[in-house]
Each structure stands twice: as structure tokens, then as C-alpha cells.
Structure 1
């Protein structure tokens, strides 16, 4: 019960999880990766009880496999440290593990050229999301992706939208990329 349990005697699983969530952000920053704790479930999940169990999901991504492994190792070490300090237990299980999948460097350069020729600027964005293109690249097919800016930074949401002029520019840039990619393929033959 939260009203009668002294603060120094609590075994608050949410406190340990919250500390971990903040630490994994720092871990990602140190390694140049990204991460999120995208879901949190607590039990008993009532306002007047100390949280006895807390399940969180951790999604870490990095374009370098060694850096990704280091991020996971540091997160696990931090979780054990926080569990000990908060007097709770911790365990890990993997929902899935996907190694970073590099795209074709030459196609990335050609994509950037096409975008700069069209709009005058380009921002490289490592693709953290699990796109079909990653599976194509994993199969050994040279692959690249071109992203179009979403309004308010919202993507993968029903509110996602893009300015019509950005769509028009992206079609032109994609056409240029297709021409450049075809020439690149012909040079390789």
C-alpha cells in the first residue's frame, strides 16, 4: 500500500524502469543510436499501490552492429544496477533481434545527388524503421530509400500529411534517381 509503506522500504518496479528509460536515452546518445521504451505495463495498476511489477519494451537501433550490441549490454547492466538499488528483480527476453542492414553506398550517394539537384538540399536519414526495403537489401539486392518530409514530423500515424510541393519535388527526385540508378546498373555489367 502506498500510504503505509515508507519510501526507503518500497520495492517499486516502476521506479527502476523509469530510471532505466532515462538511462537508455543517454546510452543511445553516447553511441549515436536511437532508442525508445514504447510500452509500459504495471501491476497492480491502481493509484494507491506501490508498483510490484513493471514490464517495458526496449527498442534500440544503430547502423553499426557492434555499437548496437554495446548499447544493449549497457542497458542490461543499467537495469541490473537499478533493480538492485530499488530492491526489485529484473529479467530480459527478446521479442526479436534484427541486425542492422546497410543499404548500397553508391545508391545512397546517387539518391543524395538526385535530391540536391531537385531541391538544393538533402538530409541523410539512416532508416531505423523496419521497411520492406531492408528485407530486399538483406536478400542481396542493392537498395536505397528516399523519404519525403511529413508535416509536424508525424509519420506512421493517421495524422501524417505532406505538403503537395514536397510530393511534387519527391516525384522529380525519384525520377532522377531512377535514371541515375539505371546508369549505375549498366556500368556494373
Structure 2
């Protein structure tokens, strides 16, 4: 009983915050920012990751090429996680109705898939991966990812809670992805070293 009241209170608070912020969703600055933030959508983010890898390969910049692959790995994991959550929780988007209630469900309608924010999850995962590879540019990378995330609230596509959840998913997904890649690299390195030690000496 108390858990249900707590959830309801959280939803109501989320609704109040979002309602105050998205009153200017029809203003031209929000419309412009909203269009720009579409780079955070899944196909666009994947294209950015692939383009980063290709540019690195063309320029023979192994660091940039590897960063593009790590960005893609982080984005893929974040996308998988948010998709699994969306497949079990229905929430009507602010622009589609005044109902912040989160409920169990399997609707695949765009209008019912507000939680969590996919733009936020994907943008943060990619931004964090780039920031890790290029610490001197982490402020710009994280700032861009946060901008893509936050603008989803005033434009009416997500509640504030959806965005916060998406940001958390993106950050955690990047950490897990990077950890898995580092673990694989260490294993490959140890295997290569073992083979070199075990290899018979070459004939003089």
C-alpha cells in the first residue's frame, strides 16, 4: 500500500515539473532545439558512431576509429536496455495526453512509450564514450548530450522522469560497455603473450 502511494507521489511530482517546463513547447527556440535534438534518435546516433569510425580509418587515426566503435557499443547497449524497459512499461507522452501514470504494458505505439527517453539514453552513452576517449573535450561532449536530453521535456515528448532515467541508462551502459571492452582487450593481450612465450624458437 505504501509503495503504491510513493509511486503515485513521484508521478505527480514528475507531472508538475514537466507541466511547468513544457509550457513553451510551441515557441520557435524550442522548436529549433527540438529539431536539432533529433540527432539523438537511434538511426542518427548510429550514423554518427559509424561516421566517426570511418573518419578515423580514412585518416589512419586509430584512436578516433576505436572511439567510434566504443561509441557504437555503448549506444547499442543503452538502446537494448531502454527497449527492454519500454517493452514492459507503458506511459503516455506529455504531447499525447495528460496522464503521467506508469503502468505495466506491452504497447508498441509511440504515444505509449514515453518511459524511458531513448534520445537521452543514446545521446548520453555516445557522449560519455567520446568524453572518455578525449578528456579535453568531455565538457563539450557531455554538454551536447545533456542538451539533447533536457530539451525533450520542454518540447513535450517526455516527462522529466523519463529523461532522468534515460540519462542514467546511458551513463551506466557506457561504463559497462567500456569495462567489457577493456576486459576483452586484456584477455586478448594475455592470450597473445602466452602464445608468444609457448611458440617454438625459430631456426637460425
Higher strand proportion: 1
* TM-score for both structures, normalised by structure 2: 0.34
- Normalised by the length of structure 1, the TM-score is 0.35
Q: Which has the higher contact order (CA 8 A, sep 6+)?
A: 2
- Looking at secondary structure, tell me which structure has more helix per residue: 2
* Larger radius of gyration between Structure 1 and Structure 2: 1
